[in-house]
Amino acid sequence: MAKAVAVLALLLLAAAMGGAGVASAQQCNAGELAVCAPAIIGGAAPTAPCCASLRSQEPCFCQYAHNPAYGRYINSPAARAALTSCGITIPSC
């Protein structure tokens, strides 16, 4: 679990640093989802800060889901459960 969290954190950091050219008007920043690592990776209940980050990055979910670096995390059952717990509609990409 700790290794998976570390891997996700590194991937999100890399995406945040390298994603500047991909950012659009909604400011996609996958690094903001690091607060959700326990929910996305481990299936923990999402925290209020996690839900806030998910809401702020909602327009970017399909972009993240199609990115090979972290798409498997975004498309995971745990990530879908986190979205549902936060009252966010699961996007169909």
Q: 61-80 pLDDT, tens per residue?
A: 999 999 999 899 989 999 99
Model pLDDT, residue 46: 98
Q: How confident is the model at residue 42 (pLDDT cuts 50, 70, 90)?
A: very high
Residue 17, both tokens:
């640093």
Query: Is the whole model's pTM more than 0.75, yes or no?
Result: no
Model pLDDT, residue 70: 80
Q: How confident is the model at residue 15 (pLDDT cuts 50, 70, 90)?
A: very low
Q: Where are the domains of the chain?
A: 2-85
Model pLDDT, residue 26: 58
Going by CATH, does the domain composed of 2-85 fall within 3.40.190.10?
no
